[in-house]
Amino acid sequence: MSDQEFPGWHGTTIIGVRKGGRVVVAGDGQVSLGQTVIKGTARKVRRLAPGGHEVVCGFAGSTADAFTLLERLEGKLEKSPGQLQRACVDLAKDWRTDKYLQKLEAMLIVTDGRELYVITGAGDVLEPEHDIAAIGSGGNFALAAARGLYDYEEDAEKIARRAMAIASDICVYTNGKLTVETISA
């Protein structure tokens, strides 16, 4: 669907930072339709516990699409308890090959405290090189800020919060109302 047919949902910045035996996933709360802010307090970071194994997920893109993907991921994790990488790869395979799922427009950051992945509809399961993953309209701003802070700040949550503050100052589709979830290895 083109922007002429539908102005499109913009917004969201999600960041995952792994440092000191923990991973922090933070996401802003802004949902925009075209140039209008529809909601400022959306919760785009969630904690899942399929089969007793906690996983933290952040999503960017269509909310309904992201929830569909989170449900599928939860199912994959129930079939492969404690095997985050396998569940993510299985989800990416389905997302890439299933005609219904192919139309979903979202991206995910997923972590169990040990592993950190970005999952895309192109079939990618990416593990970030520098222990930082970021997605969404302000993702590159948050990523750059976190990379700059990483060697000078010991606390993963402080890095994530400061990077999100910088992204929200730059990206008009990102606000400073954060949801932050922390998970340890």
Compute the C-alpha angle 29/149/110, nearest 5°.
50
Look at residue 6 and tell me whether its pLDDT is greater than 50. no
Flag whether the pTM goes above 0.85.
yes
Of 113, 144, 107, whose CA–CA distance to 126 is shortest? 107
pLDDT digits 0-9 by tens, 118-150: 998 888 999 999 999 999 999 999 999 999 999
For residue 30, CA distances in Å to 5, 52, 109, 118, 148 come to 22, 31, 18, 21, 25
DSSP-assigned beta bridge partners for residue 111? 56, 116
Q: How many CB atoms lie within 10 A of CB 51?
A: 12
* Sign of the C-alpha dihedral computed for residues 63, 42, 26 and 168 taken in this order: positive
* Residue 88, pLDDT score: 95
- Class of the CATH-defined domain 9-178: alpha beta
| 12 included as an active-site residue | yes
CA 135 – CA 15 distance, rounded (Å): 7
Of 100, 12, 112, 125, whose CA–CA distance to 59 is shortest? 12
DSSP secondary-structure letter at 171? Answer: -
Residue 75 pLDDT grade (very low, low, confident, very high; cuts 50, 70, 90): very high
* Residue 3, pLDDT score: 44
pLDDT digits 0-9 by tens, 76-102: 999 988 899 999 999 999 888 877 777
